[in-house]
Amino acid sequence: HHIVEVRDLRHSYPDGTEALRGISFTIHHGESVAVIGANGAGKSTLLLHLNGYLTPTDGNVRIGDTPVIKGTLPEVRRTVGMVFQDPDDQLFMPTVADDVAFGPLNLGLPAGEVERRVTDSLALVGAGHLREKPPYRLSGGEKKRVAIATVLSMSPDILVMDEPTAGLDPFARRQLMGLLREFRHTKIFTSHDLDMVLELCERVIVLREGVVAADGPPREIFRNA
Ligand code: ADP
Ligand code: ADP
Decide if the complex's ipTM is over 0.95. Answer: no
Region of poorest pLDDT, from 86-95, 100-109, 144-153, 164-173:
164-173
Tell me, in angstroms, the distance from the centre of ligand 1 to residue 61's CA. Answer: 19
CB-based contacts of 224, cutoff 8 Å, min separation 6: none
- Indicate whether residue 141 lines ligand 1 (CB < 6 A): no
Rounded to whole angstroms, the Cα distance separating 122 from 130 reads 8
Cα dihedral across residues 214, 220, 223, 224: positive or negative: negative
- Indicate whether residue 90 lines ligand 1 (CB < 6 A): no
Strand order in the sheet with 58-63: 18-28, 2-12, 58-63, 66-67
Ligand nearest to the CA of 163: 1
Nearest-CA residue for ligand 2 atom 12 is 152
28-64 pLDDT, tens digit per residue, is 999 999 999 999 999 999 999 999 999 999 999 999 9
Ligand nearest to the CA of 13: 1
Rounded to whole angstroms, the Cα distance separating 144 from 138 reads 9
Angle between helices 140-152 and 96-106 (to 10 degrees): 20
- Indicate whether residue 80 lines ligand 2 (CB < 6 A): no
- Indicate whether residue 44 lines ligand 1 (CB < 6 A): yes
Mind giving me the DSSP string for the chain?
Answer: -EEEEEEEEEEE-TTS-EEEEEEEEEEETT-EEEEE-STTSSHHHHHHHTTTSS--SEEEEEETTEE-SGGGHHHHHHHEEEE-SSGGGT--SSSHHHHHHHHHHHTT--HHHHHHHHHHHHHHTT-GGGTTS-GGGS-HHHHHHHHHHHHHTT--SEEEEESTTTT--HHHHHHHHHHHHH--SEEEEE-S-HHHHHHH-SEEEEEETTEEEEEE-HHHHHHT-
Rounded to whole angstroms, the Cα distance separating 86 from 63 reads 24
- Indicate whether residue 17 lines ligand 1 (CB < 6 A): yes
70-129 pLDDT, tens digit per residue, is 999 999 999 999 999 999 999 999 999 999 999 999 999 999 999 999 999 999 999 999
Rounded to whole angstroms, the Cα distance separating 103 from 209 reads 35
Nearest-CA residue for ligand 1 atom 24 is 13
On the question of pLDDT at 145 being above 70, the answer is yes
Mutate to test the pocket of ligand 1, among 17, 48, 83, 192 (most ligand atoms within 8 A of CB): 17
Nearest-CA residue for ligand 2 atom 25 is 183
Tell me, in angstroms, the distance from the centre of ligand 1 to residue 42's CA. Answer: 6
Tell me, in angstroms, the distance from the centre of ligand 2 to residue 121's CA. Answer: 7
Angle between helices 111-124 and 140-152 (to 10 degrees): 140
